[in-house]
């Protein structure tokens, strides 16, 4: 019997894969989506089970270099959208202006705005009702209060939500189904076309066809298609293309954000676990590419953030659980990471510049300056053993802090296979197709022309929608 040939195979059922599937289903019924993880199941939305099932490599993916840190990415139908915060931002104005002036020939960045309306409608993007007091989301309430006091810009946060009841479980999966993750919004409509729990190993071009080797508990298998859409996430897509020589370079650059998580200990109880991820973000320093916001809080998340801290600080935090909240400073480094294939294995590296370290320290100073008041006892900064500072000593403590010891995490990776002209260093034409390999399309966070500073899901989806609008039979 001859092997079946699909018109399209989509590799990866994440954010970009959802937009690809939504378009491809209108072009043909002969398509397949291959995803390494399974369907999300709310029974598994506990911290422990979620890490195992819905985070690739349980959330630990090293970025090697002089300062080793980790990145996290989603796994399973819906990809990152199942375990992310559901924040759907539009591309920051200053980034969009930069793209339009730097890449005047890039049709999609000029037209991206119109697709945000579609994304926001489909994902039920909403600003959460604000209680305007400290009963729920104290951490967000306090951020706004301090912002107002210091006349700084704090904005409401747009999220993909329907009926959030503030269970504060967003990064382990939404147990009440309020988060509009893409398994629900897009993939349910194509469920008969999804092959779950199959890992993509390699891709080969044979004549006009692509042969994809996949692996499951049942063993190895080859599947064939006329066109291929690669949507495995910025690092995995880049690696697959490099490793299978669909791109001839020896390595690829990628860009990312860095998160630093600090713990603020208040003098009175704040019960930060009563609430959702966050409802307010400080955007006063947006042009410097620094954002500040709270994040989900409970004992498990606190233990994760403080895992490497000294015993003294751990004991202190344990005694002050109901008085604590976690805040994130997010920065856009100027350094770029690198993806290589070494003996067929993925190697991801980065080295921060002096400016990046300056920015990390500046972001911590901004955080302390903003949040310290009569209500705050101390802030524990994310140096590996934990650095406890007070309103009196934080400036000197941060000035003398060695930033190479900061505990960092990235959950936003992008721009490994940018959509741009060849002259601008792009690898994809305006159909999202590789210049170097006809019939191979890339549609995920890889395609962003550059680092956007703000959470990227909205921009990935809007750009992807603009691209698939060019696809015809
Ligand atoms: C904890 C966390 C919180 C976040 N919060 C936000 C937020 O609030 N707002 C926001 O805008 N962004 C957020 N992000 C980032 C956002 O989720 C990602 O930018 C987005 O999911 C990237 O989309 P993608 O299509 O590139 O990849 P993904 O959504 O990661 O999809 C890639 C898919 O490919 C699959 N895959 C990979 N390799 C293989 C393989 N070899 N074989 C088969 N399948 C494979 C993966 O399992 C995954 O399902 C967050 C991310 C994390 C991890």
How many A from CA of 138 to the centre of ligand 1? Answer: 29
**Ligand 1 contacts CB of residue 233 (under 6 A):** yes
How many A from CA of 205 to the centre of ligand 1? Answer: 26
Q: What is the gyration radius of the CA atoms in the chain, in angstroms?
A: 22
How many A from CA of 433 to the centre of ligand 1? Answer: 21
Residues 6+ apart with CB under 8 A from 351: 65, 66, 67, 335
Testing ligand 1's pocket by substitution, the residue of 47, 180, 233 carrying the most ligand atoms inside 8 A of its CB is 233
pLDDT of residue 180: 98
Q: Are 283 and 153 in contact (CB under 8 A)?
A: yes
What residue owns the CA closest to ligand 1's atom 38? Answer: 232
Which residues share a beta bridge with 329? Answer: 260, 292
According to DSSP, the β-strands at 258-266 and 376-381 are antiparallel
How many A from CA of 6 to the centre of ligand 1? Answer: 25
How many A from CA of 17 to the centre of ligand 1? Answer: 10
Distance (Å, rounded) from C-alpha 52 to C-alpha 9? 26
Q: Are 172 and 166 in contact (CB under 8 A)?
A: no
Look at the chain and count its residues. 473
Burial class of residue 7, CB neighbours in 10 A (0-12, 13-18, 19+): middle
In the chain, what is the straight-line distance between the N-terminal and C-terminal CA atoms, in Å? 27
Residues 6+ apart with CB under 8 A from 456: 412, 414, 445, 448
**Alpha carbon of residue 284 to chain centroid:** 22
**Ligand 1 contacts CB of residue 200 (under 6 A):** yes
Q: How many helical (H) and strand (E) elements, i.e. helices and strands, does the chain have?
A: 12, 23
Testing ligand 1's pocket by substitution, the residue of 9, 11, 12, 296 carrying the most ligand atoms inside 8 A of its CB is 12
Distance (Å, rounded) from C-alpha 153 to C-alpha 207? 56
Distance (Å, rounded) from C-alpha 408 to C-alpha 258? 6
Atom nearest to 232 CA in ligand 1: 34
Residues 6+ apart with CB under 8 A from 363: 260, 285, 290, 292, 329, 331
Helix (H) or strand (E) holding 238: helix 234-243
**If we measure between CA atoms, which residue out of 42, 242, 273 comes closest to residue 137?**
273
Testing ligand 1's pocket by substitution, the residue of 87, 95, 214, 232 carrying the most ligand atoms inside 8 A of its CB is 232
**Ligand 1 contacts CB of residue 139 (under 6 A):** no
**Residue 441 has which token pair?**
């399309």
**Ligand 1 contacts CB of residue 183 (under 6 A):** no
How many A from CA of 148 to the centre of ligand 1? Answer: 34
Instruction: Work out the angle between the directed axes of helices 93-102 and 107-122 (0-180°, nearest 10).
Output: 150
What residue owns the CA closest to ligand 1's atom 31? Answer: 14
Q: Are 401 and 383 in contact (CB under 8 A)?
A: yes
pLDDT of residue 57: 96
Q: DSSP label at 55?
A: B
How many A from CA of 318 to the centre of ligand 1? Answer: 32
**Ligand 1 contacts CB of residue 170 (under 6 A):** no
Atom nearest to 59 CA in ligand 1: 53
Low-confidence ranges of the chain (pLDDT < 70): 1-2, 132-134
Which residues share a beta bridge with 293? Answer: 328
Testing ligand 1's pocket by substitution, the residue of 10, 34, 70, 79 carrying the most ligand atoms inside 8 A of its CB is 79
| Domains in the chain with CATH codes | 5-51+78-124+180-250+415-468 (3.50.50.60), 128-160+258-410 (3.30.410)
pLDDT of residue 473: 75
**Ligand 1 contacts CB of residue 235 (under 6 A):** no
How far lies 222's CA from each of 4, 70, 128, 175, 214, in Å?
10, 32, 46, 36, 6
Residues 6+ apart with CB under 8 A from 338: 251, 252, 253, 254, 348, 349, 350
According to DSSP, the β-strands at 5-11 and 219-230 are parallel
**If we measure between CA atoms, which residue out of 466, 471, 425, 457 comes closest to residue 125?**
457
Q: Are 212 and 11 in contact (CB under 8 A)?
A: yes
Q: Are 166 and 276 in contact (CB under 8 A)?
A: yes
**Ligand 1 contacts CB of residue 272 (under 6 A):** no
pLDDT of residue 2: 61
**Ligand 1 contacts CB of residue 244 (under 6 A):** no
pLDDT of residue 130: 78
**If we measure between CA atoms, which residue out of 202, 258, 250, 269 comes closest to residue 230?**
202
Atom nearest to 14 CA in ligand 1: 31
Atom nearest to 34 CA in ligand 1: 43
**Ligand 1 contacts CB of residue 87 (under 6 A):** yes
Q: Are 218 and 237 in contact (CB under 8 A)?
A: no
Atom nearest to 12 CA in ligand 1: 34
Helix (H) or strand (E) holding 146: helix 138-149
């Amino acid at each position: 019997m001859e092997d079946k040939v699909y018109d399209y195979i989509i590799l990866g059922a994440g954010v970009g894969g959802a937009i690809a599937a939504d378009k491809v289903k209108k072009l043909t019924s002969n398509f397949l989506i291959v995803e390494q993880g399974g369907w999300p199941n709310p029974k598994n939305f506990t911290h422990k089970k979620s890490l195992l099932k819905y985070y690739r490599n349980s959330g630990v993916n090293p970025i090697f270099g002089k300062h080793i840190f980790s990145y996290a990415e989603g796994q399973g139908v819906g990809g990152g959208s199942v375990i992310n915060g559901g924040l759907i931002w539009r591309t920051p104005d200053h980034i969009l202006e930069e793209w339009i002036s730097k890449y005047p020939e890039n049709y999609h960045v000029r037209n991206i705005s119109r697709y945000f309306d579609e994304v926001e409608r489909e994902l039920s993007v909403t600003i959460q009702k604000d209680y305007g007091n400290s009963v729920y989301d104290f951490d967000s309430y306090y951020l706004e209060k301090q912002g107002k006091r210091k006349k700084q810009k704090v904005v409401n946060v747009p999220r993909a939500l329907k009926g959030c009841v503030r269970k504060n479980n967003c990064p382990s999966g939404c147990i009440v189904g309020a988060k509009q993750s893409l398994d629900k919004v897009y993939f349910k409509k194509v469920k008969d076309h999804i092959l779950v729990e199959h890992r993509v190993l390699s891709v080969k071009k044979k004549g006009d066809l692509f042969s994809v080797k996949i692996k499951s508990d049942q063993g190895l298998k080859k599947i064939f298609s006329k066109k291929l859409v690669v949507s495995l996430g910025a690092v995995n897509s880049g690696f697959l293309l490099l490793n299978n020589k669909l791109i001839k370079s020896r390595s690829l650059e990628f860009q990312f954000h860095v998160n630093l998580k600090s713990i603020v200990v208040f003098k009175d109880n704040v019960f930060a676990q009563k609430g959702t991820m966050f409802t307010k973000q400080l955007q006063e320093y947006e042009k410097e590419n620094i954002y500040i916001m709270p994040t989900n809080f409970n004992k498990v998340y606190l233990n994760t953030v403080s895992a490497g801290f000294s015993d003294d600080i751990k004991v202190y935090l344990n005694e002050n659980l109901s008085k604590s909240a976690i805040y994130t400073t997010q920065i856009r480094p100027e350094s770029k990471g690198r993806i290589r294939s070494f003996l067929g294995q993925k190697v991801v590296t980065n080295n921060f510049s002096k400016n990046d370290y300056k920015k990390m320290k500046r972001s911590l100073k901004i955080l302390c300056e903003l949040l310290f008041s009569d209500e705050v006892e101390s802030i524990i900064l994310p140096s590996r053993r934990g650095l406890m500072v007070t309103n009196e000593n934080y400036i000197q403590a941060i000035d003398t802090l060695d930033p190479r010891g900061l505990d960092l995490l990235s959950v936003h990776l992008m721009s490994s296979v940018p959509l741009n002209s060849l002259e601008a260093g792009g690898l994809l034409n305006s159909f999202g197709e590789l210049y170097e390999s006809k019939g191979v399309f890339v549609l995920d966070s890889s395609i962003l022309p550059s680092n956007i500073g703000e959470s990227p899901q909205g921009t990935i989806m809007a750009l992807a929608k603009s691209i698939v609008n060019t696809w015809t039979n």
